[in-house]
Structure formats: structure tokens, C-alpha cells
Structure 1
Amino acid sequence: MLRSLLNQTSLTVAGIMSGTSLDGIDVALVRIDGCGVDAKVEVLHFESFAYEDELREKLKELCSIEHSDVSLLCGMNFAIAERFADAVLRAAAAANISLEQIDLISSHGQTVWHIPVADEANPFLPKSTLQIGDLSVLAKRTGRPVVGDFRTADMAVGGQGAPLAPYGDFILFRHEEKGRILQNIGGIGNCTAIPASASTDAHRLIAFDTGPGNMIMDQVVFELSQGRLTYDANGSWASIGFVDVELLNSMLADPYFKLPPPKTTGRELFGKAYASSFLATALERGLPPEDIVATATSFTAHSIARAYNDFVFPEYNIAEVIVSGGGAHNQTLLGMLRELLPEQSILTSDELGLSGDAKEAVLFALLGNDWIHGVPNNLPSATGAERPTIMGKLALP
């Protein structure tokens, strides 16, 4: 099976993504011709499978030092892999594609904890990361070879293990005449700045995590609605509120925003504990729910715009910001970005022909494809790694 894969120049890959927003599993069935920066991609089918509320809350517990435990971690590693396998089976059936036609599954896994910078005071807390969703379980349940656990290889050569999306952003969105920023707004926000005419040199990219994406907004909405809502659909709740500027400015004073790239973050900084603390402060200030949601939304928008102004615009002339991820559906958030970035066109990746919901699953399909071809698939300029390396591990069915 593996020998056959190595000899193929065109592969059908199932890319699996489950992000920090913890909203569900995305599966993209992708036909990829070639490899590396010259790969050509055709999305055959995309489908998203939402997590039920109980599972989502268990994952939030798992991503919290205060509530996690080793038995839940051990069990969820297998349980999530079973969910990944079921998602691939269902996506293939919906696309009328047999499992035998899928050459490879490429899985991001589910991030539980991410330590981008070593704790110098504790030798047992080096730079490290943990994504669950056991690769062997996924391979045995589907009968297909699986590549996954990408981030650890980048960390092993000195990187932060993130962001990984810039590699695919470069392949899919580079433009000869326009400088572009690809802004994904999932649980965390991350950007890739690609200068015009960067036709072959991906190392000219600037890429990093801008800060919170949807995770603070989503958690606040969940708590304010007593669990009835998991997110602010279309930004409708935020649209009727007013931003508390003083509270917003105190949030933007977080030291993370001043750190120069490469840098990454996640639930360990902007997760449930942060959102609950923000909510408690907002309630103490007497803010009504709509103002709280508006302020959380503005926090994401300002953190993104500030990141560009501090680290991207001084280096590159940017004409377009292309937004993907769940945040691309939040019209209030997009409106705030347009106000903060009047000189750039704010688009969604859907407008350029690639579903913003599917993009990250497609990107991980590309990473798996390059693993098979033996092509380095990290970007040291984005992650801070000492050298290019081949990321990923293989599990056979």
C-alpha cells in the first residue's frame, strides 16, 4: 500500500480538521496533483460534523488545567479518533466516493494543550504540544493509511509548531500583483502575509497567531445564554451593542500582542478561564449582554488590525485581507475589520472560490500529501524552526 502511494503523482486525500473553536470536525476530500508549492488542488467534497454539547464541554474541560484529568485525556484520545473515522466514512458516502478511492487520510487531530515557549523554571515543561485523536484507531477503523501529529516535528527542530496554515495559504492564494493577508478566524486568529510576486519563495511570508478568534466570543455567548447558544450567529447580538472602550483597551494591553513574530497562542491563554474572567469584569461594570458580546467581538477585530499595523504593514504593501474560518460568517466582525482597515479590501475565501469553512481541512490534506512525497512541509519563517523539515507520522490500517 505504501509503496503504491509513493509512486503516485496524483492522490485523493481526506483532510481532517478539528480546531480550537471546538465546534466540530471538518472533512475535505481533495484531489491533489503534484506536491510542494506547485501542487494543484481540486476539492471534491466538504462536510462539517458538529460536536454535541456534552462532547464540546468535555473537550473544554480537557483543555483546562483546573478541570482536566489523565483518565479523560486517555479516553478522549480514542473517542475523538472514533469520531474522526465516522466523519470520514460519512463524508465519503455523501460524496459517493468509496474508501478504496481515498489514498490517504491526513488529520490535524484535536489540540489539547500547546506550550510554544519553554518554562525555563521547570525542566519538565519544554516547548511542546499535544493533539489527540489516535492515528492507529483512525487507520484501523477506516482501512486507509493516516498521516497526522504534524506539529511535534516542527517543535523538534526548534519551532513553535504553529502556525502551519501559511504553507497552504502560499500554495493556494499567492498573487503576482497583489499583496495579500490570509486571516483565519477559528477559535484562535492566525494570519499569513504574502507579498506580491512571491511566486516561488514561501520563506518571504510573515505568519503568526494574531490572538483570539471566536473562542472568547463563543464562550461569552454560551454563558450569557445559559447554554442555549454556542456562538453569535452572523454577529447579530454584537450588532445591537456598544463597545466598552475602557475594558477593550485593558484587554489589548495583554503582553502577547506586543511579542514579535513568530508567535503562537491558544486556549492556554485565551480559553474558558480568560473568557469567564472577562465576563465577570464586564458584569461588574454593569454592561448589558449585547455590550459584552460587542466588546468581545471588537477585541478580536482590534487584535487582528493591531497585529497588521505592528508587524505586517511596515514590511509589505497589502491590498487584500482574505478571511476564512467561522469568523468569516460574523458580519459584525467583518464590519469592524473594514472600519479598522480602510485601505485594504476585506474579502472571504469563498469569494475567491474556496470555502472558508473547508480551507483548513484542505491545508492539512496538502501537508499529508507532501509527507507522502518526502517534501518538507513546515515554514521556518512562520514557526521559528531552525530548518525545513517533513512533519507528520504514519499509521497503517
Structure 2
Amino acid sequence: MTIDLEALYIDLHQHPELSFQETRTAGIAAQHLRDLGLEVEEGVGVTGVVGVLRNGEGPVVWVRADMDALPVEEQTGLSYASTATGIDPAGTTVPVMHACGHDMHVTAMIGAVEKLVSERSDWSGTLVVLIQPAEEYGAGARAMLDDGILGRYPKPDVVLGQHVTPLPAGVIGVRSGTQMAASDGLTVTLHGRGGHGSRPHATIDPVVMAAATVMRLQTITSREIDPQGVAVVTVGSIHAGLKNNIIPAEAKLELSLRYPNEETREKVLASVERIVRAEATASGAEREPEIRTDHTLPATINDEHATARVTAALQRALGEAAVIDPGMFTGSEDVSWFARDAGVPLVFWFWGGIDPTRFAEAVAAGRLGEDIPTNHSPFFAPEIHPTIEVGVTALSAAAREFLA
């Protein structure tokens, strides 16, 4: 029986789950893989799923899809929009939405596996399917590896993955070398001296300290990184105080840092530490600030030879004009941990999910940034068709390129 991929996608979209809480999604994916004849294990790396399809002698190909959603309130206006909520790590009830397209990733994966199963007489080797949790935390791949998947399942000869993105539907973006940036997530705690809002002279105000720090951090990319280079320093969260007439004792900043290589990473991290400590000193802080690393993700680097093979396979399957070099994305991914730990090539690509006419109109009007929602936007939702079909074709064609 053919799987109704549209119905699967809508169901997943309406029932998003936060990182490491994807029990329903994992169960649905696992059941589909079992129905297709794969050996399946659930609960890998907390909520991950691994499926194995053995089809004779030949290479071992790992294909990966992530499945977690985000604490975002959906505003797409779609008839199947998510109204779900979840409990975040702080214990707060938050809206939940598939704002990054991971529901589409799982749908395309199931469709690609179904296609490969139907074509199994034409290839040989072993397909290992990874349905990964917690990509949004940058922790899911590591959790699955720490759970011992390299020792329990056939070791890969190549790792493949894909991500839906705001390119025109039908377009594939892939390049060799650095496809996505490395990143670090930092939490900075600035210590002041609290007191009454009417007596600021008797305090050391961490709010002012935080404001000065945020402004100075912006000079890293504008004044310390070569203009021809790439780096991102984003302060995504500031928390300080509970009432307007109380100067708090501390302020917390959450930073997202991005860079294409280790040299730039070391420079940015050193600059962040220098600025944070200098602003604390300038504010008269009596206690050193704390800088904690919450996660570190390596750059997503596509192997040159394997990428050339995948590019050729995608061009044959979808047409040469459909495959482009999208440039390096400053977003980050944890998929490369699988290839890095296994010591094998990685190929990771993007596929478009935006109506081509709408995309072209936005480009013509010079309003691409305003009119086309990007991943993590409350308005982001890929067109169901042909996004599903292109994702299925791309992933299955890339896997077939390596399966004998």
C-alpha cells in the first residue's frame, strides 16, 4: 500500500514536539519503517529512531532526518496550522510549531525509504535510516552517537542529509566544502550589586552593564573581522530584573556565534571574552562575569568527491538547471557529527519549499527578505507539493548513487 505522504506531513505539522520530547513523531516514523520491512529500534539517544534495510552485499549508506519542533506560535493561517503547546526545559508552557520544516524532513525520508524499498531489486547494500531528535538543541546527533549507534549498526561509507529552505520549490542547493557554519551558544552572566531603583549610586547596575556589552559585541563583526570574511554575533536573549524600581544583582545574555572555520572561531570567542570582561571592569563589577558554553557545533563540510557524485545524481534526477550552488549558509547543523565520528564523507544539501511564482515576484520587487518567510519564522511553511516529491526524489537518488 502506498503511503499517503501529504496526510503524513499534515499530521506531523499539526502535532509538533519539542526537542527530546518527540515520542509521537518517533512512534509514527518507526511504524512506517517497520511496515516497509526495516529492522527498527526506538529510544536511541532518548527519542531517536534507527531503521536498517539490508539488501545484500555493498556499501552502507546512512540517511538522516531530524524531527523536533520549535517554541514558536504558528501564524501561517493554514487550515492545518499547529495549535500545539509544550513544556520547555524551564517548565514553562510554550506554543510549538514546525517552524524549521523538520516535519517535511521526516515525510520526505519516509517517502524516500518507500521508493528505495520498491526499487530494491535494482541496488544492493545496506541503508541505515536515522530519525534524529533535538537538532534545534544541537544535541540530538551527539546523543545518538553517545548511545553507541556506531557499534550497534553497520558503519557508514557515507552520510547523507537534506534540509528544506526558502528556495523555490524544485530547486536543490548543494556545494562542496563548507555548506553551513560552525557555531557556539554561550550564556554570559554579569554580576552587579542590586538595590533600590531610587538609589542607583549605591548599586552596580548589571542592566547598564548588559546594554553596554551588547552594543560593544556588535563591533566584533563590524570592526574585528575582515569585511570579506563571515562571522555572526547575535545576542538572542537578555534577562535581568523583575520590577521597575529594583536594580537587580545580575543580568544574563544568551549569545549565538557563527563562523566558517576554526581560525575565525578562535578570534570571535577571544573577542567576546575580552569585551565581556572589559565591560564588567568598566562598570566597576566586584565579581568576574561567567561565560558558559551551552553547545558547540562544527562546520557542516561536504566532501568534495562525494558531493560531486551527489550533484551529478541530483542533476540526472531533477535536471541540471534545478541544482545550484547556494553559497555558505550561516546557520548551523549537528548532522556532521555522524560523519566525523565515523570518519566518512558527508553530503548535506538544501531543497526549496517556496512557490516559485511567489519567490520570483518577491525577487522582482526587491522584497525577498520581507515577503518570503525563512526557517524559524512563525510564517514559515513549505508548499506541500512539489516539495514532498522533490525531497523524496533527491534523497533516494543520492542514496542510490552510493548503493551498488
Quickly name the TM-score band, shorter chain normalised: under 0.3
TM-score by length of 1: 0.24
More helix by percentage: 1
Larger radius of gyration: 2
